[in-house]
Structures are given as structure tokens and as C-alpha cells.
Amino acid sequence: MAVRIGRQTPTQAVILPYRLSKGREAVKLYEQSGRKAQPWQVALLKDMMGLTADQLWTHTKFGYSLPRRNGKNEVVVMREFWGLVHGEQICHTAHRTTTSHAAWERLCKVLGEAGYEELGRKTKNEIPPAKSFRTCKRHGLETVELTNGGRISFRTRTESGGLGEGYDLLIIDEAQEYTQAQESALIYTVSDSKNPQTILCGTPPTTVSAGTVFVDMRNDALAGRTEDVGWAEWGVTEEPKDVRDVELWYETNPSLGSILTERKIRGEIRGDTLDFVIQRLGYWYTYTLSSAITKAEWEAMAVPELPELKGKLCVGIKYAKKLPNVSMAIAVRTWDDRIFAEVVDCRPVRDGDSWILSFLSKADAAQVVADGAAAQHLADEMRQMGLNAPLLPKVADVIEANALLEQMMSDGKLCHKNQASLTDSASNCEHRPIGTAGGFGYQSIRDEIDVSLLESVILAAWSCSKQSERRRQRVSY
């Protein structure tokens, strides 16, 4: 009796027409290791490595999504093996160092099984064998290089990693965690190649996934809004009523019956069925992200012109938690008993604190409040300049400041000039828990939006609200 296997063609795909393909060559190289490519891997690689009439990649960008443990990384190995043999410069990136290290180990193992000899330190007048490679085993900086110059680097993604480096092939492993900030750092690394290709592979994002690039790529490809982009996925298109429906398992797992079994999948079912639906049935769940502060609410506090001010200003400085930025804002009382606030600037932390210190040295501030990883360093710099040290708020202070903002908004006690960047920051945030007593802070719901602009305003407004007005002495005769 024939063994039943999972569906070998994608449940949804966008594949551009191509003349020829290098996919078969890649499979042949891979199978020199004694391993056997599955039919779905052969077909996927054929589409991925399709060529135009000019012998360029048909798909300069190709994304594919499968449920876990189906062998999607073997497809990457096949593509990387071919690239190395043909002298490509490759960068394999992953969300975690452990994942990129595992990818390096996987490729080295396949090379060894295919008859490639791993060489030690290079010696003088050495003539290395044609089928040989050298590797750097330093954790987090792994590389593999063939004698023909083909080279691959394995790296963990950061917002700045890859800048200044150039590649022909860029692999985005764990693509569900690929953020827009990371894409900004990596997207241009293949620009100088004569025939560049970027491959994104992963699973549908879960409730804790941070990336948005993979989701946007899929949505745009399926909607026909892309050029030179290919996409393939295995997954259900709607949340199933019965997660124990075996037919769905075979429909969404191409390796079921080969490297996966029904027994293994049955053992994965537990209380959290949504996680099973996403990670085993390939469901792209749509999360509804709504801001804690709506744009309408924020713009309702905008004033057309600067109100009449009184008293000294207060300064709020926030070193961002996720993005490498620092924001500075001011707040000051108005004659109609409101607090006016605006952002002075937001700059990368690598620019240093000189612009902040220059402002503070000229400002007649009642108080400076600084929060974040580099706040203590700023305090030391202020002392060295003879400036009053800033207040470094405790967790309870931050909780109070955040609660005060929403109270001031509700009471109409806050006003601003509707700065575009500040409005974007305020209207794209959500609450995040702070402390153990129900306190909250803010975090951005969009990777490219820096919530530190809003947080600096909150610190400044909170400080301003704490300043007691000095009453004028009334003298009567």
C-alpha cells in the first residue's frame, strides 16, 4: 500500500513566467550528499531559480511560508550550495544567533556529505583540492568559503547589521520576525550585484512575532501589487472548526508522510489551538492593531498658534527602548491653566548628547527629566558642564506620568502644535504593562514609528505639572 504524502504544490502562489531554471542544477548538487530532495522542494526551487531571457533571476525577491518541521531550510541549503559553487557572495541572516549557527552547521554537513573537504589554516604555496572549503567557526560570525571565492556569512539581524557590505544573495531566515528597521539596514546590501536575489522564508507570524515585512510582502504579492516578486505558501485560508481534521494536515504539510507523521502532529494539539492553527496549518491570522490614543483624540488638543505662556519650561528626555534614538521635548504652562508641549528633536544615539547639552545650557529650565539606558551618562555629562543634574524617574514616576497624560487629555489640560512626527508617535501606540500593580507605559504598533517622541512629551508634561507656581505677594495699605 502506497504511503500517503502531503500536498506537493502550494495552496497559494504567485510565480512569474520564466524561460529556464537553475533549480535542477541546485538539486543535483544537493543530492551528491546522498540526501534526496522531496518533489515539493524540487518544484519550489525550480520556480525560485527561474531565469529571464537575459539569464537574470526572474524573481529578484522570493518568499515562501510553510508550517514548521517540513524541511523549508533544506531548500535554502540547496540554493546556497549552488550559489557557493557559482562564486556568489551570500549573507544568511536569522532572528536568533542559535538559528543562524544551526544554518551554518547544516550547510557544512551537506558540503561534507557531498565530498567537500574542510581545510585548516591556509599554508604557503598551498594548492587546495577543487572540492574543498574553509570555515570560520566563531559563534555569531560563522562563514563558509569555497576555493573558487564563493562565500557565505551567517549573521543575526540588527537594525544596523550588514551596512557597508555587498552580496549577491540575501537569505532572510525566520522571516516572520523581520522588521522594517532591519530591512532598511539590509535591503541595499544586494544593490551592487549584477544579478541580486533576496529569499525570505518562515512561518506565518504568531501573536508574539515582531516583524511586519513578511506579512506585507505576502499581502502585496497575492494582491498583485508587486513586480519581480515570487511567493508560495502552504496553509489554510480560514480558521478551521476542527483542528483534528486530518485532511487539513495533508493539505498544508507537504512533508507529511515523509519526515512528518500523523502521530507527531496529533501530539502537538493542546489547549492553545490558535498556535497550532498558525504553526501547523499555516494560517495567516489577522491581528487588529488599534492605537491607545487615536489620531482624532490627539489632534483635538492641537492649537492653531502658540498660546500665551508663563513660568519656566520643563524638559523631558527619553532614550528609546527599541530604536537607537533619543527624543527631547519641552512643556510649559499657559495662562489659561493648560500645559503646552512639543518635541524639540529626535536624533540617533550615535550622534552623541552634544545637541542636548547645547540646548540645556541655553534654556532656563525648571527641571530636566531623563529616562532610558543612557540617562545616567547624560546626568554625568550635565554635572561636568555645571548644569543641574536631571531627575532620573523611578518606575512609579513613569507609571504616574503615563496615567497623568491620559487624564490631562480627558480634562483638556494638554495642548500642542500638531507636529507631524509627534502626531504619528501618539496615534500609533499601545499600552504595555509596567510594574506589578497594573501600571502601563507605551510601545509602538508600527516598527518605523518611534514612541520615544511621545514618551519625552509625557516626561516633560509630568514635570511641568509638578512645578508649583510662585504666588505674587500682594501688599495692601
Residue located via cell numbers 506585507: 216
DSSP state, 257?
Answer: T
Ranges of CATH 3.30.420.240 domains, the chain: 295-466
Pick the CATH number of 295-466 from 3.90.550.10, 3.30.365.10, 3.30.420.240, 1.20.1250.20: 3.30.420.240
CA–CA gap between residue 413 and residue 465 (Å, rounded)? 10
Q: Write down the pLDDT at residue 274.
A: 83
Give Cβ neighbours of residue 177 (< 8 Å, ≥ 6 apart).
95, 157, 202, 205, 209, 210, 211
Q: Apex CA 275: angle with CA 44 and CA 66, to 5°?
A: 0
Q: Write down the pLDDT at residue 218.
A: 95
Buried b / exposed e over 362-390, threshold 16 CB at 10 Å, is ebebbbbbbbbeebeebbebbeeeebeeb
CA–CA gap between residue 217 and residue 362 (Å, rounded)? 48
What's domain 12-279's architecture?
Answer: 3-Layer(aba) Sandwich (3.40)
CA atoms within 13 A on the CB side of 273: 7
Residuewise pLDDT in 10s, the chain (477 residues): 678 999 999 999 999 999 999 999 999 999 999 999 999 999 999 999 999 999 999 999 999 999 999 999 999 999 999 999 999 999 999 998 899 999 999 999 999 999 999 998 877 777 788 899 999 988 888 999 999 999 999 999 876 656 568 999 999 999 999 988 889 889 999 999 999 999 999 999 886 677 889 999 999 999 999 999 999 999 999 989 899 999 999 999 999 999 999 999 999 998 768 889 999 999 998 765 578 888 889 999 999 999 999 989 999 999 998 788 999 999 999 999 999 999 999 999 999 999 999 999 999 899 999 999 899 999 999 999 999 999 999 999 999 999 999 899 988 999 999 999 999 999 999 888 887 666 888 988 877 789 999 999 999 999 999 886 444 444 443
Task: Give residue 2's Cα distance to chain centre.
Answer: 44
Task: Give the number of other CB atoms < 10 A from CB of residue 343.
Answer: 22
For residue 421, with 0-12 CB atoms within 10 Å meaning exposed, 13-18 middle and 19 or more buried, which class applies?
A: middle
Q: Write down the pLDDT at residue 289.
A: 59
CA–CA gap between residue 83 and residue 92 (Å, rounded)? 12
Ranges of CATH 3.40.50.300 domains, the chain: 12-279
Angle between helices 452-466 and 395-411 (to 10 degrees): 90
Strand partners, 12: 233
Q: Write phi, then psi, for 355 (nearest 5 degrees).
A: -70, -35
Q: Write down the pLDDT at residue 475.
A: 40
Residue located via cell numbers 496553509: 235
CA–CA gap between residue 328 and residue 456 (Å, rounded)? 6
